[in-house]
Amino acid sequence: MPAGLRPKHPATNCQYQPIGGDFRVASDRIKQSTPAVTPSLRKLSSEFLAGEMKRDYLTEALCFVIMISVSAWPIASMVRALSWLK
């Protein structure tokens, strides 16, 4: 087939039939072979980042205060200018 007439997508196999299986049996064997409980990702990440979180929190809080101050300054200036118009 010429290159311009070829379909852009691969052919779909409409006759595909998945093989049924009992996957619970395999997972039960895995659970029985590993007696140790593995910690969750949430616990691992909280333990790993515990020291850095405090330092990052202070840095982010300082940046937030600076952004709020810079944002509030024009509003305060406008209120002051409006009070002079009375």
Residue 52 lies in a domain: yes
Question: pTM for the full model?
Answer: 0.39
pLDDT at 53: 76
Residue 61 lies in a domain: yes
- Which one, of 30, 80, 3, lies nearest residue 38 by Cα? 30
Tally the domains of the chain: 1
Residue 73 lies in a domain: yes
Please give the residue range of the domain that contains residue 84.
Answer: 45-86
Residue 56 lies in a domain: yes
Q: Which pLDDT tens digits describe the chain residue by residue (86 residues)?
A: 666 677 677 777 777 776 766 555 555 555 555 556 677 888 877 777 777 777 788 889 999 999 999 999 999 999 999 999 87
Residue 24 lies in a domain: no
Cα(33)–Cα(54) distance, integer angstroms: 39
Residue 74 lies in a domain: yes
